[in-house]
Structures are given as structure tokens and as C-alpha cells.
Amino acid sequence: MDHFQYRDGALYAEQVSLTHLAAEHGTPTYVYSRATLERHYRAFDDALSSVPHQVCFAVKANSNIAVLQVLAALGSGFDIVSGGELRRVLRAGGDPAKVVFSGVGKTEAELRLALEHGVGCFNVESEYELLQLDALAQQVGRVASIALRVNPDVDAKTHPYISTGLKQNKFGVDLITAERLYRHAATCKGLKVVGIASHIGSQLLDVSPYLDALDRVLALVDRLAAAGIVLQHLDVGGGLGVRYRDEQPTEPADWAAAFLPKLAGRKLTIFTEPGRAIAGNAGVLLTRVLLLKPGEAKQFAVVDAAMNDLLRPALYQAWMDIVPVQPQDRASAVYDVVGPVCETGDWIGRDRELSIAPGDLLAVRTAGAYGFVMSSNYNSRGRAAEIIVDGNRAVVVRERESFDDLIANERLLDPR
Ligand code: LLP
């Protein structure tokens, strides 16, 4: 459930009218609902309440520092994949001890930064990284807590671009290699072995791939215990899907109920790294219809948001719901909703039946995750503003980018 609802013929975020926000702050604008973010965080926290656990929000899904601040205030930890994301967490008041640092290509500078700030766990993804981290930790006089991100080779049955737990994917290390690396890590002075992690993909609608992955991971946990390497935590990754259209995603409570029995009798703290399931339905992208353009084969609704603002349709052919902010009783037509960017792939939705006129507002639903964070300045378009609604208050948590912002780091050559 989310807190975007129609009231008196117009779409609201909590108690704030989106029409009002668009009039005041312009479009395209991302609008997030604080109550929805909180509700979704708590759904995970409650689902795992019967065991020691830590929910680590995947910062990549929505990295606005105010969004991170809302979650940090609830006690959330964070899953990060870069030094930039670590800095955002720190700026938002997040606790570095509750941070897990994932990623196949952490740079030396990023590893150093994370060591300096005492991040809770490095989710190590290669032998090279393991050796490098051990050496760096010893150099700076720290001990790095580590988990290996293992690749359990299960098919998550999701879009190939967001499937990560197959052996042909670049992520993690296979179970055989992991066992060897754990044995080595246990002897390293700069490392402390604390856990094991796996993340098999994103937008998973079914729990069965989680269960298959867990069986494989737990078999390794047991082999390690037999070798005297006892792990404290198991990170089951993120990946729980959301409803964009008519999907029936598993709720956090049902997801947890499905896998927790497998962990009975084990003294493992459970970590999870949800991103989309917390932020996805907590945000919409507000956009205005610029013009309607009838064509021979198609009618186009050209809107002021484009692929640079919301890349998911162009990149994954993702279907995102597009709804009128103030539904009207006019005749409807079928449109391709497209942006102004000069690419055929610049579309937000295809073949959508809408009753619209130039100037109307549309909301693209479920845009709170992998929305703004994947935006760019392509076609010299400033990135959208971001607003958080909290009850009857709306706060601009990121200003719309100006032309000066766009060229701030560019330089002209000296005259010849
Ligand atoms: N943990 C790790 C190690 C990850 O790689 C990811 C996502 C997550 C957690 C969070 O997964 P989530 O709960 O959000 O599914 N841009 C794509 C999604 C890419 C996901 C990448 N990894 C999209 O828009 O669908």
C-alpha cells in the first residue's frame, strides 16, 4: 500500500495535492511520500522481528540524502556500492557500523574510505579484492569485517539485465572458490570473517529462487563451521519485487515466513538489502503534457519528462503506470507517451489509453526506486527536482538543476 490516492478528483501524495506541487515547483518532479517509505521499511523490519536482523536499504535505488535520513531515523542500515554512496549515508546521519559495502569493482580509495569510517561489513566479491583489503587494512591498522558475496547459480527468473545470481553473471564468487577464500581469509591479520552474502537479482516475484539460493548457501555455512569458521550473519540480499502493473509480488512477511524456517536453530543474524520494495511505490514522477501529436501510425503525447529523467522504459522496456493527476471526462485516445529527447527509444509508456490535453499533468507511478538515481543530463536537460511529502508538508529535497549547474565543471579553452 502507498499514500498516493485520489481525493476530490485529483491525485494527492499524503495530504498534498500534486497539482499544487506542480504549479509551485514545476515539472518534471519526483515526489516521494515519507509515510510510504516508513511503512515499507517497517514491513521488512517486522517481517524479521522474530530473529536478530538488520535491514540495509540499497542506496542505489534512491540515494537522495533526505530519503536516507528518513530511513536512518528508523534504524535502517545501508547497502552501498561506492564511496559516493557511503558519503551520502554519512551525510544523512546513517551509522557506518550498519553499512554493508557490496560491488565487484571497489577502488583502493573507496576501500580506504570505508575502512576509515569503520563500515560494518565488506561484501567481498573476488579473490583480488580479498587480498587487497587485507593488505590495506593492515596498512591503516584496522581489521575489516568481511562476508563473501557468493554466487549460488540460481535463476531468479527476472529481466536478464537485473539477474545477478547466475554463474555467467559478474557478481560474487562461486561456492567452491568461496570455501577456499574463507579458509584463507580466516588466516589474514587484516580480516575478520563475519558473514556470508548472496543477492540473486531484482524484481523477484516469487520466493522459490531465494529458497534454492539459501539451501546452497547454508550448505556452505555448514562446511565452513566444520572447518572451524563460524559465521555470525547471513545476508539474503534484496530483490523483492513490486507491482508496476498486475504483478503479484510476495509481501515481506510472506517472504520471511518462507525462508525463516530454514534458519531455525542457527545463531545467524539476518541481513537484507531491499531497495525497490522500500522506495519503488513511495515515489511518482510528475510530468506535464506539452503537446499531442497525431501521426499516421500512432498518436504521440509529448510530455516534459524524458528518458534522461526516467530510463527504465528505454533500458528495460519496463512498463510503468501513467495516470492523470486530474482525470477528466473527455474522449480518450491511445497514445505513445514520449519525451522530448532525440531518440526513438525515448518513451515512458506505449499504447496507453488516456484522456488528456496539452497542459495536463500525469504521474508515472512506482518511480521512487531506480528513477531519479538513473537520470542524466542527456540533451542538456537539467535533472528533475525531488520533493518529500510528509503529511501536509512538502519539502524540496533537491532543487531542479539549472543551466549553471549543468556547465559548472566545464571550461572554455583560452582564445587562440
Ligand atoms: N543488493 C545488491 C548487492 C544489489 O545489487 C541490489 C540491486 C540490491 C541489493 C537491491 O535490489 P532491489 O531490492 O532494489 O531489487 N536498475 C534496475 C535495478 C538494478 C538492481 C541492481 N542491484 C531497475 O530499474 O530495475
ipTM of the complex: 0.99
Residue nearest to atom 16 of ligand 1 (CA): 370
- The answer to whether 340 and 290 are in contact (CB under 8 A) is yes
Which residue matches cell numbers 529535497? 397
Q: Is 233 in the pocket of ligand 1 (CB under 6 A)?
A: no
Give me the mean pLDDT over the 305-320 stretch. Answer: 98
Q: Is 275 in the pocket of ligand 1 (CB under 6 A)?
A: yes
Phi, psi torsion values for 11, nearest 5 degrees: -80, 135
Task: Ligand 1 pocket test: pick from 104, 170, 171, 273 the residue with the most ligand atoms within 8 Å of its Cβ.
Answer: 273
Could you give the residue ranges of the DSSP H alpha helices within 62-185?
65-73, 83-91, 108-116, 127-139, 175-185
64 pLDDT above the threshold of 70: yes
Can you state the angle between helices 175-185 and 208-226, rounded to 10 degrees?
40
pLDDT band at residue 14 under the 50/70/90 scheme:
very high
* Distance of CA 134 from the midpoint of ligand 1 (Å): 27
pLDDT value at position 157?
72
Q: What top-level class would CATH report for the domain 4-32+280-406?
A: mainly beta
Of 199, 321, 312, 204, which Cα lies nearest the Cα of 251? 204
Query: What is the Cα–Cα distance from 411 to 222, expressed in whole angstroms?
Result: 58
Q: Is 370 in the pocket of ligand 1 (CB under 6 A)?
A: yes
* 325-339 residue pLDDT tens: 999 999 999 999 999
Cell numbers for 157? 527468473
Q: Is 28 in the pocket of ligand 1 (CB under 6 A)?
A: no
What's this model's pTM, rounded to 2 decimal places? 0.97
* Pairing of the two strands 53-58 and 269-272: parallel
* Distance of CA 191 from the midpoint of ligand 1 (Å): 27
* Distance of CA 61 from the midpoint of ligand 1 (Å): 7
Cell numbers for 72? 536512518
Residue nearest to atom 22 of ligand 1 (CA): 202
165 pLDDT above the threshold of 90: no
Q: Is 102 in the pocket of ligand 1 (CB under 6 A)?
A: yes
* Distance of CA 218 from the midpoint of ligand 1 (Å): 23
Higher pLDDT, 163 or 4: 4
* Distance of CA 201 from the midpoint of ligand 1 (Å): 7
In DSSP terms, 77 is beta-bridged to 56
Q: What top-level class would CATH report for the domain 103-272?
A: alpha beta
| Structural element, H or E, at residue 214 | helix 208-226
Q: Is 280 in the pocket of ligand 1 (CB under 6 A)?
A: no
Give me the mean pLDDT over the 300-309 stretch. Answer: 98
160 pLDDT above the threshold of 80: no
Q: Is 288 in the pocket of ligand 1 (CB under 6 A)?
A: no
Of 57, 27, 31, which Cα lies nearest the Cα of 44? 57
Task: Ligand 1 pocket test: pick from 196, 202, 311 the residue with the most ligand atoms within 8 Å of its Cβ.
Answer: 202
350 pLDDT above the threshold of 90: yes
* 173-226 residue pLDDT tens: 999 999 999 999 999 999 999 999 999 999 999 999 999 999 999 999 999 999
* 220-255 residue pLDDT tens: 999 999 999 999 999 999 999 999 999 999 999 999
Delimit the domains of the chain by residue range. 4-32+280-406, 103-272
Query: For residue 366, what are the CA distances in angstroms to 78, 149, 316, 349?
Result: 21, 29, 15, 13
Active site residue 121: no
Give me the mean pLDDT over the 96-106 stretch. Answer: 98
